Amino acid sequence: MREVAGDGVTLAVLDQGEGVPVLLLHGFPDSSRLWRHQIPALVSAGMRVVAPDLRGFGESDRPEAVEEYAIRRSVADMVAVLDVLGIERAHVVGHDWGAGLAWALAAYVPTRVDRLVVMSVGHPNTLRRPSIAQREKGWYQLLFQFRGVAEALIKRDDWKLFREMLGDARDRERYIADLSRPGALTAGLNWYRANATPEQELERTRPFPAVAAPTMGIWSSGDDYLTEEGMRGSAEYVEGPWRYERIEDAGHWLQLDAPQQINQLLIEFLEFRES
């Protein structure tokens, strides 16, 4: 890992391999370690892998103000990372909040994105008026808005509620250890407080831009937090070639539950070239 200056924060960034660059973006409550099964496979396939700990996570800075976690700040972070590493364009792969960030990069900084892979989270426009089924799955996002209260409830009784929320997630104990560090839980929850409030849902009157990059969406049938509707509906907001893959018998963290299948899909899609 190396330290790279982002938009007013210092980020921990893994940079391995040589060749076509691939930017891997994790979500909540992860770090770049989420990609531990994908990084060696992509490097072996001849790619340069860049995997940052996003602001608030892992070994990167954890600013205190909620507004510091607005998605535009992380877009600026990623542009800064690419600039520092001398990368003009990169494939971008995102999961969870990292998928939201990946959509934003492809929409607002299209000249820096070659091919796009979004995992679990569909295009932001698909979440403007979510179904009841999606609202039920996303109940925790409302809890996370209550500053201080959410932290207390999550940590109470040895993180009982959080353990139940995570279910059989493979990295459950590591997540709890990471979030037990001073300020880490609040930093992670601030992503929701900056980008997913009820007020913001009411205020979203203009649609999020479509993306031009060739895009692959991946969703897993065992996802406890997101319905398939968001990913399937994303095709409407992709102007470039669109591909959808559904992974069976995998949970939300599909890159951990089905690593070989995910690696195969990523390498196949990212290595594709027009004849």
The residues that are catalytic are 96, 252
Alpha carbon of residue 97 to chain centroid? 3
Maximum pairwise Cα distance, the chain: 58
What SS3 class is residue 135? helix
Question: How many CA within 13 A on the CB side of residue 256?
Answer: 18
Closest by CA position to 258, among listed 38, 28, 1: 38
- Phi, psi angle pair for 239, to nearest 5°: -80, -25
Strand boundaries in the chain, DSSP class E: 2-5, 10-16, 20-25, 47-52, 90-95, 113-119, 215-222, 242-251
- Phi, psi angle pair for 51, to nearest 5°: -130, 100
